[in-house]
């Protein structure tokens, strides 16, 4: 009986010892529960990790920040040579290249047009490329006086998402030498390039229909100006003070200045009868105003538009009935 009791006691003692060993081998959480199992392959995946710290994570899109200059030039892919066609998301639809900002610019969001406007950037330097889009929205306008007095600006490339260059946008940018105006712009407003003394040539695209008052006034280096026939309105003093305007050889023998098929201005001393040359499409604002020595002006059938105040203050209406009648008919 004694041996039987001893055997039972030893068996019970061994069972209790095994339970204690098993308990010591388990890892418990502070709440007493077992932690979840961890797959060895998951040890590198940390759900708390910042996406920007993961080499395989693309991080934030540079295009989401209007002031983000884009990727470092050293990281640019080697895209094949071709003309990029950019979407509003700043991605080339041909090769997928992202638009690379060349300068940090300021923008304003216009809720009415659901687009961005280039705003105050008087600090800009060097050659600037305006992007097609910011934050997935097109850049459509250059605001009034956006680059006014920006003496460090030497070149500007405007994308064809821009339709308007507003008043005085580049006024007194004295070092601006190169400007590309896209075929999307329909008007060049008042004083846009006034005082851009380093500008030597300008080509206005076929999309433009109007050039504002003083648009290129006092561009003293401007010798080459190309204006398409699409332009039907040219404001007063638009080209006054340019090198082209100041060159006596550009005026005809009676003192009238033409730019392409556009009659720009008649000198004060013009007198007698004047015949506008055949092929002229437009007569600029105030071209013959106050030219009281004129007795008649012959306007050819090629003229399709006559600006305001073209014959203002020519007092002797008896002598100038022909002028006034032709003006009225040509405006119709």
Residue finishing a domain among 197, 223, 250: 250
Contacts of residue 38, Cβ cutoff 8 Å, sequence gap at least 6 = none
Residues 234, 268 within the same domain: no
Note whether 292 and 166 are same-domain residues: no
CATH of residue 124: 3.80.10.10
Q: Is residue 40 part of a domain?
A: no
Q: Which residues contact 186 (CB under 8 A, 6 or more apart)?
A: 163, 164, 207, 208, 209, 210
Boundary-marking domain end, from 208, 231, 250: 250
Q: Is residue 36 in a domain?
A: no
- Shared domain for 221 and 261, answered yes or no, is no
Whether residues 315 and 245 fall in one domain: no
Domain of residue 122, residue span: 84-250
Is residue 184 within 8 A of residue 206, CB to CB? The reply is: no
Q: Which of 49-53, 141-145, 227-231, 232-236 has the lowest mean pLDDT?
A: 49-53
3-state secondary structure of 6: helix
* Position 20 confidence tier, pLDDT thresholds 50, 70, 90: very low
Q: Rounded to an integer, what distance in angstroms lies between the CA atom of residue 91 and that of residue 76?
A: 13
Q: Is residue 42 predicted with pLDDT exceeding 80?
A: no
Place of tokens 């884009």: 70
DSSP SS3 for 159: coil
> In a 3-state reduction of DSSP, which class is residue 19?
helix
Average the pLDDT over 308-325 and give the result. 62
Q: What is the pLDDT of residue 136?
A: 83
Closest listed residue to residue 128, CA positions, set 150, 143, 149 = 150
Rg (CA), the chain: 37
What is the per-residue pLDDT for 91? Answer: 67
Strand order in the sheet with 282-283: 256-259, 262-266, 282-283, 305-306
Mark whether 122 and 266 lie in a shared domain.
no
Can you give the pTM of this predicted structure? Answer: 0.67
């Amino acid at each position: 009986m004694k041996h039987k009791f001893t055997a039972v006691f030893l068996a019970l003692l061994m069972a209790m010892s095994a339970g204690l060993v098993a308990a010591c081998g388990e890892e418990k959480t502070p709440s007493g529960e077992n932690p979840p199992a961890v797959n060895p392959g998951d040890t590198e995946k940390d759900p708390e990790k910042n996406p920007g710290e993961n080499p395989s994570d693309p991080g934030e899109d540079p295009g989401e920040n209007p002031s983000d200059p884009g990727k470092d030039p050293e990281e640019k892919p080697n895209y094949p040579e071709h003309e990029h066609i950019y979407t509003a998301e700043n991605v080339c639809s041909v090769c997928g290249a992202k638009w690379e900002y060349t300068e940090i610019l300021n923008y304003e969001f216009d809720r009415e047009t659901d687009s961005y406007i280039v705003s105050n950037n008087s600090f800009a330097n060097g050659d600037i490329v305006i992007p097609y889009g910011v934050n997935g929205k097109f850049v459509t306008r250059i605001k009034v006086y956006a680059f006014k007095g920006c003496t460090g600006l030497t070149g500007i490339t405007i994308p064809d998402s821009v339709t308007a260059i507003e008043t005085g946008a580049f006024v007194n940018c004295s070092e601006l030498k190169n400007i590309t105006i896209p075929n999307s712009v329909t008007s060049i407003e008042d004083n846009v390039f006034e005082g851009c003394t380093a500008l030597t040539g300008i080509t206005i695209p076929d999309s433009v229909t109007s050039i504002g008052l003083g648009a290129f006034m006092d561009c003293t280096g401007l010798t080459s100006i190309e204006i398409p026939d699409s332009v039907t309105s040219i404001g007063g003093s638009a080209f006054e003070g340019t090198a082209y305007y100041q060159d006596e050889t550009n005026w005809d023998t009676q003192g009238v200045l033409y730019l392409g098929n556009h009659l720009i201005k008649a000198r004060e001393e013009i007198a007698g009868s004047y015949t506008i040359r055949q092929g002229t499409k437009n007569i600029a604002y105030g071209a013959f105003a106050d030219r009281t020595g004129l007795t008649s002006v012959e306007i050819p059938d090629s003229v399709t538009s006559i600006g305001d105040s073209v014959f203002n203050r020519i007092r002797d209406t008896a002598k100038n009935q022909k002028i006034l009648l032709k003006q009225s008919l040509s405006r119709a």
